[in-house]
Amino acid sequence: MNNQSVGKQSIKFENPPVIISQASVVGEMEGQGPLGSYFDQIETDPAFGQESWELGESEMVRRAVSTAITKSGLEQDKIKYIFGGDLLGQLIGTTFGLKDFNIPLFGLYGACSTCGESLSLAAMTVAAGYAENVLAVTSSHYGGAEKQFRFPLEYGNQRPLSATWTVTGSGAFIVSQTNGEKPMLQYPRITAITTGKVVDYGVRDSLNMGACMAPAAADVIYQCFEDLSMKETQFDKIITGDLGKVGSEILIKLLKDNGYDISRQHMDCGVNIYNNEQQDTHSGGSGCGCSAVTLAGYIIHNLKQHMWKKVLFVPTGALLSTVSYNEGQTIPGIAHALVIEQKSNTP
């Protein structure tokens, strides 16, 4: 074991952990979107058979975790820790979704960047030898998030074109150790991570979160390139979480100003998950579930099919609460980057 702390904000793994199993559970609208065929489960009931959106989100988390464990073929007690989080106050989606699993929990909050945070800590934990297998899970729910952060759906307010649409979805991943005896070349490997800082450009519009998050995404991608001595052309895709159309344009401009042109490699999960023409989702999808289900469904599929060999996965988060927002505070952003690679079949 000789993991390297590299540069200001990054870690390079000597024995990169692998994602041996992943699961995505989504709502009806996500199932009808362009990525619908990549998801494990599509549920047409917004409450997932429960009494409320919040309990529905917990049920979605429970299903994603169960499915990931089943697909891995591992017994549940072989998973030492769960790293999990969601958007709701005090992480109730996660708490009530996980309470029957009997696995130690590290609760996380990084707004919609939480998928990156959870996978980073999961990779750090297994690469250090603290556990053979851990699980990372994140979720969001359109009804619960709109009710909490903006307006209850019943109010029927108008949404500006810069607004994003919270994804109803949960993505779960089992991250496992590799060593000499079991290289596990068939699985995607997390080879490095760059952890982001809180970046505040003074944006105050909760209906334009792409603009809040783009500076944080630019900051962590720039630092990742610097720390790891890499550049944009070494990646097949550079995939942000939920900047949407508005935020993606800002990101590309900010990085171009700093010497990196990612316009050819860039893709945003929020832009890809819906068909805005038909689904009227404005700037695109958002939420902890957006990047999580896109990774679990579409991205890992393309890696395993060898369409992509190396991607930079950068979930992005807008750090606001209704309290801070109503008290006139800014909305800072945060983003975390992971280098995910797939070895080619031929040795």
C-alpha–C-alpha distance, residues 329 and 318, integer Å = 13
- How many other CB atoms are there within 10 angstroms of residue 102's CB atom? 8
Site residues for a second copy, 87-126, by CB under 8 A, read 87-92, 95-96, 98-99, 101-111, 117, 120-121, 124-125
Between 101 and 222, whose beta carbon lies closer to a second copy? 101
Give the β-pairing of 337-341 and 310-314. antiparallel
- If binding is defined by CB under 8 A, does position 75 make contact with a second copy? no
Between 131 and 296, whose beta carbon lies closer to a second copy? 131
Give the β-pairing of 237-240 and 165-166. unpaired
Residue bearing tokens 């529905």: 56
Residue bearing tokens 């369409």: 307
- If binding is defined by CB under 8 A, does position 85 make contact with a second copy? yes
Find how far residue 287's CA is from the centre of its chain. Answer: 8
User: Exposure pattern of 28-43 as b/e (b: 16+ CB <10 Å)?
Assistant: ebbbebebbebbbbbb
Between 41 and 148, whose beta carbon lies closer to a second copy? 148
Q: Which of 37, 45, 73, 129 binds a second copy (CB under 8 A)?
A: 129
Residue 172: closest CA among 296, 32, 311? 296
Structure-token pair, residue 179: 């060593």
Site residues for a second copy, 314-333, by CB under 8 A, read 319-324, 327, 329, 332
Q: Which of 54, 226, 236, 242 binds a second copy (CB under 8 A)?
A: 54
Smallest separation, CB 206 to a second copy (Å): 12
Are 14 and 2 in contact, with CB atoms under 8 Å apart?
Answer: yes
Between 130 and 151, whose beta carbon lies closer to a second copy? 130
Smallest separation, CB 35 to a second copy (Å): 27
Size of the site for a second copy (CB under 8 A): 63
Between 140 and 272, whose beta carbon lies closer to a second copy? 140
Site string for a second copy, 32-51 (x = CB under 8 A): -------------------x
C-alpha–C-alpha distance, residues 165 and 213, integer Å = 15
- List phi, psi (to 5°) of 135: -125, 140
Dihedral of the CA atoms 48, 51, 54, 59 (nearest 10)? Answer: -40
Between 297 and 333, whose beta carbon lies closer to a second copy? 333
C-alpha–C-alpha distance, residues 213 and 20, integer Å = 30
- If binding is defined by CB under 8 A, does position 66 make contact with a second copy? no
Site string for a second copy, 130-159 (x = CB under 8 A): xxx---------------x-----------
Q: Catalog residues that contact a second copy under the rule CB under 8 A.
A: 1-3, 5, 8-9, 11, 51-52, 54-55, 77, 80-81, 85, 87-92, 95-96, 98-99, 101-111, 117, 120-121, 124-125, 127-132, 148, 195-198, 200, 319-324, 327, 329, 332, 334
